[in-house]
Amino acid sequence: MSILIYAETQNGSFSKSAFELASYARALANEMDTSVTAVAVKPTDPKAIELYGVNKVLQVNNPSLTTFNAKSYAEVISQAAQASNSSVVLLSTSADSKFLAPLLAIKLKASYASNVVALPMSLDPFVVKRTVFTNKAYGMTELSGDRRLISLSKNAFGLVEQAVSAEVEVFEPSISESTQSVTGVDKASDKVTIADAEVVVSAGRGLKGPENWGMIETLAEVLGAATACSKPVSDMGWRSHGEHVGQTGKPVAANLYIAIGISGAIQHLAGINSSKVKVVINTDPEAPFFKAADYGVVGDAFEVVPALIEKLKVFKSQNS
Amino acid sequence: MKILVCISHVPDTTSKINFKDNDTQFDTNGVQFIINPNDEFGLTRAMWFKEQQSATVDVITVGDVSVEPTLRKALAIGADKAFRVDMNPKDGFEVAKQLATIAQEEAYDLIIAGRESIDYNGGMVPGMLAELIGANFVNNCIKLTVEDNQISAEREIDGGKEILSTSFPLVIGGQKGLVEESDLRIPNMRGIMMARQKPLEVKEAIQTEVKTTTNKFEKPAPKGAITMVDKDNLDELIKLLHNEAKVI
């Protein structure tokens, strides 16, 4: 018996979410008195994940897995779950993992809960807490059956080191032919993505036009942050859809979310609810965002943001 | 091209969420229901297939009689026929099983669902449906074109997009980008009148096993008081974020 995690890699290195999943799995394994197995596609340093309590790494090297294919990856994880006799399988909430999760649930005949935010509240019955109504509430979901699939919300558990010595085994799953393939990828490699970012700098209509985003980009750069925007900004085409944060856009679960010139519509606030610390900068002291934030500055973005950039540059030079 | 659009009947995005009966059930009192936004982008894209490529468009939802106004709205927007599977589903798996039964009976080329519903956010129905019926699947789909059976789809990935070549039968988990917000249609009077004449078939639910149950809810703890910082004292903000919040 084991707990299986699908440990995602980017260019061969484990992503932060893989370490977070491992941390969660280790804590759960301690409660269930079992071990943790990770399945990973072409990790360059498979043992790197042992720091977070993984006992065994199933290393998959099939050449056909070079580009992501949800169906093939679900087959790999499904076979790894069988091979490791895992009763609990854990995934992250990256776009790729959310894509393959429902396919995997059917293959494994598993019960599946997504957007889980904490360790199970009880093991028998097996009950997890997950976000519902786009972060406006939590639901306690009981998963039945003898195989359970859980996707863990980003930043919900954090990283917990508990070093063990991991055994690495080359795993060779059989992968069926697919009638679907990736023909192109369009991805800015030098930019922090909203999914990975610890800090997100987001701006709204208060910026008056797309030409004024330079200072937002600069602030994001100083903080090593991803940029995001409100729904009206994406609807008007000032910024791409990929940056839209909120109920019909992306959720943001960052450590720090800085909202500039965003009034704070209920749909937007729902989307950022899982972020830990929220800072709002707005000219209107009555903006609803001030009721949902931790720190607030009333002021014109065109004055506050450039001043903040200068002060942060000084701070960074003294603290690095 | 034969298309099915899966519609979820969800609370309006501006709804305040409350629970009743000792926090065991969502309180629908005073809540306006709408077509799930992710599904509405897909429905509009289906209308373009109908108008430009002579597709037929059916819509389906799983729910009791209270969801019928949402299906009628989809018919008023231009769908040809509606199915309602008569049950109150417990989870996404149950919905996917019901949809799979109809999808197999009707043999659709393309099934368009939203990437997730904005109520329970399971994000599992389209993928489970695809796997159950052995169809291809593209999640977070932001563009879809079909020309001479050449199907090209774009998927939003973390930090960009991916272009895929795929084939029918195909299920997509759609979202904004399939069409724009400004392309969404409000039913006109003629559409509403015509929708009354269109078929709305009620299907009996099949028996499925129950995989998950959610019968306890809670709301997030109320937010603590905000700390205001003067715009001329931004050093204070940086100090707070560094020493107190420890996020920079």
Q: Distance (Å) from the C-alpha of residue B78 to the closest C-alpha of chain A?
A: 23
Q: How far is CA A195 from the centre of its chain?
A: 5
Domains and CATH numbers, chain A: 2-171 (3.40.50.620), 199-318 (3.40.50.1220)
Specify the 3-state DSSP secondary structure of A227.
strand
Range A90-118 average pLDDT:
98
CA angle A171, A175, A176 (to 5 degrees): 170
DSSP-assigned beta bridge partners for residue A40: A59
Helices (H), chain B: 37-53, 68-77, 92-106, 125-133, 189-197, 234-239
Q: What is the DSSP letter of A291?
A: G
Residue B244 in domain: no
pLDDT greater than 90 at residue A192: no
Cross-chain Cβ contact B229/A296 below 8 Å: yes
What is the number of other CB atoms lying within 10 angstroms of the CB of residue B9? 23
Smallest CA–CA distance, residue A191 to chain B, in Å, is: 8
Note which residues in 10-49 of chain B have CB less than 8 A from chain A: 11, 13-14, 16-17, 19, 37-38
Interface membership of B157 toward A (CB under 8 Å): yes
Q: pLDDT tens, A133-166? A: 999 999 999 999 999 999 999 999 999 999 999 9
The chain-wide mean pLDDT, for chain A, equals: 96
Return all residues near A119 (Cβ < 8 A) that are at least 6 apart: A24, A27, A28, A31, A157
Find, among A198, A194, A200, the residue nearest to A259 by Cα: A200
B223 touches chain A (CB under 8 A): yes
- Angle in degrees, CA A205, A208, A210, rounded to 5: 90
Beta bridge partners of B114: B174
Distance in Å, alpha carbon of A220 to nearest chain B alpha carbon: 12
Identify all chain B residues contacting A315, using CB atoms and an 8 Å cutoff.
Answer: 238, 242, 248
Q: Which residues of A touch B113 (CB under 8 A)?
A: none
What gap in Å lies between CA B11 and CA B191, rounded to an integer?
23
Q: How far apart are CA B92 and CA B90, in angstroms?
A: 7
Read off the tokens for B83: 């199915």
**Chain B contact probe: residue of A238, A279, A305 with most B CBs at under 10 A:** A279
Which residue type does A63 have?
P
Q: Nearest CA to CA, how far is B193 from chain A (Å)?
A: 30
Cβ separation A187–B160 shorter than 8 A? yes
Task: Report the residue of B39, B131, B170 to disrupt the A interface, i.e. the one with the largest count of A CBs within 10 Å.
Answer: B131
Share of chain B above pLDDT 70, in %: 100
Contacts of residue B157 in chain A, CB cutoff 8 Å? 95-96, 185, 187
**Cα separation of A258 and A228, whole Å?**
10
In a domain, B212, yes or no: yes
Nearest to A112 among B124, B156, B230 (CB): B124
Question: CB A266 to CB B177 under 8 A?
Answer: no
pLDDT at A224: 95
Digit-coded pLDDT (tens) for A261-305: 999 999 999 999 999 999 999 999 999 999 999 999 999 999 999
Nearest CA distance, A68 vs chain B (angstrom): 10
- B164 in a domain, yes or no? yes
* CA dist B182 → B148, B185, B189 (Å): 28, 8, 20
Residues of A in contact with B240 (CB under 8 A): 295
Span B220-236, mean pLDDT? Answer: 93
Q: Do B176 and A133 touch (CB under 8 A)?
A: no
Q: Tell me, yes or no, whether B122 lies in a domain.
A: yes
Burial, A198: exposed, middle or buried (Cβ in 10 Å; 0-12, 13-18, 19+)? middle
Give the pLDDT confidence score for residue A190 in this predicted structure.
76
CB contact set of B169 (below 8 Å; sequence gap of 6+): B107, B108, B109, B110, B111, B133, B134, B135, B136
How many Cα atoms within 13 Å fall on the side-chain side of residue A77? 32
d(CA A1, CA A36): 9
**pLDDT of amino acid A1:** 85
pLDDT at B221: 87
> What is the predicted pLDDT for the residue at A188?
80
What CATH number has the domain bearing residue B39? Answer: 3.40.50.620
Token pair for residue B93? 């798996």
Give Cβ neighbours of residue B190 (< 8 Å, ≥ 6 apart). none
* B14 domain-assigned: yes
Phi, psi of A132 (to 5 degrees): -135, 170
Confidence (pLDDT) at A6: 98
Average pLDDT over residues B37-61: 98
Distance CA A23, CA A15 (A): 13
Give the CA radius of gyration of chain A: 21
Question: Is the pLDDT score of A189 beyond 80?
Answer: no
pLDDT of residue A223: 97
Pair A272, A228: CB distance under 8 Å? no
The reply to whether ipTM tops 0.90 is: yes
B106 within domain boundaries? yes
Of the partner residues A68, A98, A294, the one whose CB lies closest to the CB of residue B123: A98
> Which residue, among A15, A75, A112, would best test binding to B if mutated, counting the most B CBs under 10 Å from its CB?
A112
Mutate to test the interface with B, among A134, A278, A305 (most CBs of B within 10 A): A134
Of B117 and B221, the one with more pLDDT: B117
The percentage of residues in chain A with a pLDDT greater than 70, rounded to a whole number, is 100
Total number of domains constituting chain B: 1
The token duo for A75 is 């087959």
Helix H or strand E encompassing B29: none
Nearest CA in chain A to B168: A179
**For range A193-203, the mean pLDDT:** 93
B190 lies in some domain: yes
Q: What percent of chain A has pLDDT over 90?
A: 95
Give the chain B residue nearest A95 (alpha carbons): B157
Q: What is the pLDDT of residue B84?
A: 98
In a domain, B243, yes or no: no
Instruction: Test A196 with B159 for CB contact under 8 angstroms.
Output: yes
Which of A99, A136, A143 shows the shortest C-beta gap to B139? A99
Separation CA B42–CA B33 (nearest Å) = 18
- In this prediction, residue A65 carries a pLDDT of 95
Residue B8 in contact with partner chain A when CB distance is under 8 A? no
What is the DSSP-derived secondary structure letter of residue B244? I
What is the DSSP-derived secondary structure letter of residue B122? -
pLDDT of residue A92: 97
Inter-residue contact A297 to B234 (CB < 8 Å): yes
Tell me the sheet residues that pair with A89. Answer: A4, A149
pTM recorded for the entire structure: 0.95
Does the distance separating the beta carbons of A223 and B165 come in below 8 Å?
no
CA-closest candidate to residue A113, choices A88, A135, A84, A79: A88
Summary mean pLDDT of chain B: 97
In whole angstroms, what is the distance from residue A283 CA to residue A187 CA?
Answer: 34
What is the domain extent for residue B55?
2-217
Q: How many interchain CB pairs under 8 A, A with B?
A: 259
C-beta atoms of B13 and A267 within 8 A: yes
CB contact under 8 A, A137 and B19: yes
| Res A191: pLDDT | 82
pLDDT surpassing 80 at residue B233? yes
B62-97 pLDDT, tens digit each? 999 999 999 999 999 999 999 999 999 999 999 999
Closest chain A residue to B116, measured at CA: A248
